C-alpha cells in the first residue's frame, strides 16, 4: 500500500540556488525555527519561533549566494514589506491609526566553501509616530 520514495525517480534540481535554499532551510530548522512559504511577501520563507498557528512570524527570510550582489532596490523593498504599515480604524476615536507589522528581514548569505550560512538582519527605521489623545 505504501511505498518508499526511494522507489520513485523524483527529479530534484541540482543547482547552486536549490542547494543554498536547502542549506538555509535545514540550518534554521536545526536551530528550532519553523518555516512556511514566504512567496506572498516576496521572500523565501516566513520564520516562526513557535508553531505557526500559535505565534506570528518574527522574520521574513531570503537568501543569496556569497558571490552574488543583492540589489539595493530588492533590499529596500524586502525591508519595507517586512515592516509595512497598515491602518486600523479605531471605534473609540473614529480616526485611522497606523500599525506597524513587527517583522525583521533576515538575509542568509550562503558561502560556497562550507555548509553554514551567515545571517544579517535589517529593520526599517520609522522616525514618526502618531499619538491620538
Single pTM value for the model: 0.73
CA distance 54 to 51: 5
- Pick the most confident of 25-29, 39-43, 82-86, 89-93: 25-29
Helices (H), the chain: 16-30, 72-82
Q: What is the pLDDT of residues 26-71, one digit of tens each?
A: 999 999 999 999 888 888 999 999 999 899 889 999 999 999 998 8
Q: Is 108 helix (H, G, I), strand (E, B) or coil?
A: strand
> For the chain, which domains are there?
10-118 (3.40.1350.10)
Amino acid at each position: 500500500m505504501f511505498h518508499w520514495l526511494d522507489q520513485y525517480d523524483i527529479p530534484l534540481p541540482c543547482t547552486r540556488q536549490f542547494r543554498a535554499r536547502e542549506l538555509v532551510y535545514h540550518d534554521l530548522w536545526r536551530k528550532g525555527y519553523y518555516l512556511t512559504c514566504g512567496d506572498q511577501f516576496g521572500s523565501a520563507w516566513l520564520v516562526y519561533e513557535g508553531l505557526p498557528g500559535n505565534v506570528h512570524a518574527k522574520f521574513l527570510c531570503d537568501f543569496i549566494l556569497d558571490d552574488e550582489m543583492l540589489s539595493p532596490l530588492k533590499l529596500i523593498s524586502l525591508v519595507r514589506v517586512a515592516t509595512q504599515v497598515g491602518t486600523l480604524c479605531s471605534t473609540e476615536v473614529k480616526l485611522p491609526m497606523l500599525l506597524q507589522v513587527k517583522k525583521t528581514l533576515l538575509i542568509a548569505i550562503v558561502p560556497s566553501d562550507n555548509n553554514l550560512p551567515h545571517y544579517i538582519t535589517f529593520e526599517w527605521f520609522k522616525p514618526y509616530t502618531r499619538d491620538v489623545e
